[in-house]
Amino acid sequence: MTTPTRSTMRLILLLAVLLKMVTGSHQARAQTAAPQAKLSVHWEELTAADFREGIRRSQATCLLPFGILEKHGPHLPLGTDLLDVRYSALHGAEQEYAVVFPEYYFGQIAEAKHEPGTVAYSREMQLALLQETTDEMARNGCKKVIIVNGHGGNDSLLPFFAQTQLDKPHDYVVYIFDERTPSSGGPAKKTKIDMHAGESETSNMMISRPDTVHLDRAANESGADQHRQDLPEGLYTGIWWYARFPNHYSGEGSAATKELGEYQMKWWIDSVVKAIRAVKADDASLKLQNEFYEKSKHPLDTQP
Ligand SMILES: [Zn+2]
């Protein structure tokens, strides 16, 4: 057995130091590279650790696509609104990263209770569940919650929900994104009345879930406006929709085309991407909310 000389020892030490430097830098590279790996945008598909990374990468921006269970004419599935809005939200979030909350369909749909398959929660439940959902999202780091609306019947509920966020302090902002259809451009439309399960919505479903569209049944019922109420504009009743469209069908689904669906869904996805970017860039809303909550504790001290 030979004993190493002092110079051999120095050489071994030097090699050990070099080896550590090389492996150390490898580890450092691996650590910085890991977060760049593809992360799912689906909340429910992330591990707990990846969820933390998702919130960091999304800059605390999360989407809550909001649909409903209701009849959609004689030819589209009950979940049409949720299927369409999730298609747009998920594709949008893949282009501009955001964490997307799971299936949510607890909205306003009292006007379709006479049709099979409608799930209509009470108003108390709708507001309480939505509040607890956004509260829980925020507790998990979603300080910017974008509710992406897929259902026309939520048009009054959602702005009201956003307004009630001023009731008491919240450490997050609720944004409502409620644009679903381009007002111009794309293939020319063939129908004038097109509010529910008609040309537009059926075309969209031909892109998001073509396997669920029964185009051959679209003309089995009438989606015409039946004008059964005679009130001037400016007078509103909850029964207006049923008065005009008692079959819960407005338009002609048989006029749908894949080309129109492609144009509209691309527009919807692009619009979601723009909304996510605008929300990420918004650093005013939370500051203003906090200023407002503070002032609202002592309104008499608030100077003009
Ligand atoms: Zn719909």
Tell me the CA–centroid distance for residue 163 and ligand 1, in Å: 24
Tell me the CA–centroid distance for residue 179 and ligand 1, in Å: 13
Tell me the CA–centroid distance for residue 148 and ligand 1, in Å: 14
Label residue 15 by pLDDT band (50, 70, 90). Answer: low
Tens digit of pLDDT for each residue in 56-110? 999 999 999 999 999 999 999 999 999 999 999 999 999 999 999 999 999 999 9
> Is 90 exceeded by the pLDDT of residue 300?
yes
Tens digit of pLDDT for each residue in 244-295? 999 999 999 999 999 999 999 999 999 999 999 999 999 999 999 999 999 9
Tell me the CA–centroid distance for residue 250 and ligand 1, in Å: 10
Q: Which domains does the chain have, with CATH numbers?
A: 43-281 (3.40.50.10310)
CA distances from 266 to 44, 86, 100, 201, 271 (A): 25, 13, 19, 14, 8
Within the chain, where are the H helices?
6-33, 48-57, 80-95, 123-139, 157-163, 199-208, 240-244, 258-281, 285-295
Tell me the CA–centroid distance for residue 118 and ligand 1, in Å: 12
Nearest to 198 by CA among 178, 181, 179, 173: 181
